[in-house]
Structure 1
Amino acid sequence: MNGVEVAAGVRVPVPAEGELWVVGAVVLDPAGRAFVQLRGPVRRLFPDTWDIVGGHVEAGETVLGALAREVREETGWVLRRVVRGLGVGAWEAGGLLRHSVDFVVEVDGDLERPALEWDKHPRFAWVGVEDLPVLLVNREPGDTVIHDIVAAALRPPG
């Protein structure tokens, strides 16, 4: 799909008509750290919390198309390869059921200089296993979703 390679064994779901889907991308740097960005204080959902790159699949868009678009919009990088899946789930926010799928991905671009949407994400960081607790800051008690996705991405496959 548009030059995006998908590693063998990676399952890419196809949303059913009318379903709301959210895609997430965990980018790892050469040191094995994961890219995260801080959601701004005025964001409707999850303000002032750390997040991975991602967003909603728009009408008529595929999961891979949405993943590539979100990577480009939120970082300026170009999605090159989907390395592995991190799981499919469902969650509710704002009274709407959303399905989600997250991937470890490889990108092209300058990892030291992401082109953030600064009004939406005022900061970014590269986190390793020792940094995982920061992903729980400002989250509701029991909300470990982003922490758990990044922790899974940081674990060696297998």
Structure 2
Amino acid sequence: MSNGPESQGLGKGPRHQIVPRVLVFAHSVEQESVLLLQGAPDKKIWPGLYNGIGGHIERGEDPLTAAQREFEEETGIALKLEAFRLAALINIDMGPADPGIMLFTFVAETVELETASSEEGVPEWHRVDRLGELPLVEDLPWLIPTVVDETPRGAVRFIRYSYGADGALKIEETPQSFA
């Protein structure tokens, strides 16, 4: 019986590999708003577009700790771990030539509204009912209401993103009952 990384079955053929990332949507119930980051104009991906707060999970971090760290780095708001709840696991299939992305998606309830910009961009509060007026990353018009408003506390959605030959995003969700 082997121990260590070899015992995890890695490197044994054409298995799907992923890059772990976190995404956080801070929600202010009183303001009926969600905190989004408008990407800096020189950002490598999604420059100028609004997205949730997040980034890579660093070696040695778990998804919750990474969500807390990324949130504070990009907004200036320090939240306790208890403020975060996992709302969705999104497997992003980038095709056979690239590793995929496993996106741990959190909702964080907060009353703190004052933010600070970072090199990643400018965090701004926006009313949920007005998100259609913003230049959003392509999945957010569906994802934000799904995880913020429609996912009960304690429930986790299982979602797969993939791209068609034409580059169009395809969203598939495993059916669940949230009774």
Q: State how 1:68-107 maps to structure 2 within 5 Å.
A: 68-80=68-80, 81-82=82-83, 84-91=85-92, 92=94, 95-107=98-110
Q: Which consecutive residues of structure 1, in runs of 5 or more, have no partner in the other structure?
A: 1-16
Contact 1:78 1:107 in 2 (8 A): no
**Residue type at the aligned position of 1:99:** M
Which residue of the partner structure matches residue 114 of structure 1? 115
What is the SS of the residue equivalent to 1:31? coil
Deviation per residue, 1:77-136 (Å, 9 max, x gap): 12222454321112239944211011111347x41x20120x3213523221x212135x
Q: Which amino acid in 2 is paired with 1:102?
A: T
Separation in structure 1 between the aligned mates of residue 83 and residue 89 of structure 2, nearest angstrom: 15
Q: 1:34 matched to which residue of 2?
A: 34
Q: Give, in whole Å, the separation in 2 of the partners of 1:22 and 1:42.
A: 21
Greater relative contact order, per chain length (Cα 8 Å cut-off, separation 6+) = 1
Match for residue 22 of structure 2?
23
CA–CA distance in structure 2, aligned partners of residues 123 and 82 of structure 1: 18
* C-alpha contact 1:32 1:154 (8 A) present in aligned 2: no
In structure 1, distance between residues paired with 2:35 and 2:63: 20
**1:25-64 C-alpha deviation (Å, 9 max, x unpaired):** 1111122211112111211111111011111101111111
- Write the distance in 2 (CA, Å) between the matches of 1:68 and 1:83: 8
Output the aligned Cα RMSD: 2.7
Unmatched runs of 5 consecutive residues or more in structure 2: 1-9, 11-16, 153-177
- Mark the structure with the bigger radius of gyration: 2
Amino acid paired to 1:85: L
Question: 1:49-60 counterparts in 2 under 5 A?
Answer: 49-60=49-60
AA aligned to 2:26 is: V
**Percent identity at matched positions?**
20
Which of 149, 165, 168 is residue 155 of structure 1 equivalent to? 149
Aligned residues: 133
